Amino acid sequence: MFLTSTQRGGARIVSVKAERIDAAVAIQFKEDMRVETEGGPDRVILNLSDVSFIDSSGLGAIVAAMKQLGAGRRLDLAGLRPMVDKVFRLTRMDTVFTLFPSLEDAMAELEG
Amino acid sequence: MSHHSSHSFKANERTVRDGITTVMSQLRARGLADQHAGDVELALVEVVNNVVEHGYAGLGGGLIHIDAQLSATGLDLCVSDFGRPLPGGHVPPMQAVDLDCPRAALPEGGFGWSLIHQLTDVLRYERRGTRNTLLMRFFLTGPRRKRQRSAPPAP
């Protein structure tokens, strides 16, 4: 599988170990996110620092992963590389998610 | 610098990823700069995904052809297929997805054409016989002169 997760502070950190989140893996991604985040802390941080490319199918899968967390839980995104960041800005999804430059920045907000 | 190449591959999710990777590595090798390559790849992926998911949906698949014409000033990509025509026979207009809604109602799709519009400088669709051709042109020099091709004319 291409997701790994750890717990740090009060957050579940899910890291994507793949270069692309695209149409070929979008459904699998959503399902794996469900498994990785089930029953964990309310805050989930998705670490995208290994991902260099995402398409609209991948974006939709991240939105789906956020929705399936349910009320009271949140999904933050960290480590967006330039083309990934661009997809979020062009679709205005940067207004829906909180984007952090790195996992450390996301953790700093948690601890600070 | 002027370079032409043609590529064909089967329209399914796995083969199109390899096909587009091949197109992009050839374009990079022929001088397409990194600053443009990301936009080109994203637009191409979105167009090809549409062909796979809509154009050939339920038709048992088919072939996708990509013609690339790269010069110092621009890149033309022609994507052809023999699937269904675009609804209404034209490119859907630029339309931002509505995000002003409760989280549970957020859209999980419908972003593709919005991205394609924003990433390309010229977008032209043609249906001839059973063949669909979408031309995407990217200006590679100077300021981008993006026009709202699908917007109604100004009053």
Domain ranges, ordered by start, for chain A? 3-111
Do the interacting molecules here have an ipTM over 0.95?
no
Q: At what angle do helices A82-90 and B112-119 cross, to 10 degrees?
A: 110
pLDDT band of residue B153 (cuts 50, 70, 90) is very low
Amino acid letter at B47?
V
> Rounded distance, CA B136 to CA B77, Å?
5
What is the nearest CA distance from A68 to chain B, expressed in angstroms?
8
Q: Is 80 exceeded by the pLDDT of residue B148?
A: no
Q: How confident is the model at residue B151, as a pLDDT?
A: 40
Instruction: Give me the residue from A56, A95, A96 closest to B111, CB to CB.
Output: A56
Q: What is the pLDDT of residues A26-74, one digit of tens each?
A: 999 999 999 999 999 999 999 999 999 999 999 999 999 999 998 899 9
Q: Is 80 exceeded by the pLDDT of residue A77?
A: yes
Q: How confident is the model at residue B150, as a pLDDT?
A: 41
Nearest CA in chain A to B115: A90
In Å, how far from its chain's centre is CA A27?
A: 14
Q: How confident is the model at residue B80, as a pLDDT?
A: 98
Mean pLDDT across the stretch B50-57?
A: 94
Domain ranges, ordered by start, for chain B? 2-139
Q: Which CATH architecture has domain A3-111?
A: 2-Layer Sandwich (3.30)
pLDDT band of residue A110 (cuts 50, 70, 90) is low
Q: What is the pLDDT of residues B88-144, one digit of tens each?
A: 999 998 888 889 999 999 999 999 999 999 999 999 999 999 999 999 999 998 665
Contacts of residue A65, Cβ cutoff 8 Å, sequence gap at least 6: A29, A30, A33, A34, A37, A46, A75
Q: Which of A44, A90, A97 to mutate to test the interface with B (most CBs of B within 10 A)?
A: A90
Which CATH fold would you assign to the domain B2-139? Heat Shock Protein 90 (3.30.565)
Contact A2, A19 (CB under 8 A): no
Q: What angle do CA A22, A15, B18 make, to 5 degrees?
A: 25
Q: Is 50 exceeded by the pLDDT of residue B149?
A: no
What is the nearest CA distance from B31 to chain A, expressed in angstroms?
19
Q: Is 50 exceeded by the pLDDT of residue B154?
A: no
Average pLDDT, chain A: 95
Average pLDDT, chain B: 90
DSSP β-ladder status, B74-81 and B131-139? antiparallel
Nearest CA in chain B to A86: B39
What is the nearest CA distance from B105 to chain A, expressed in angstroms?
8
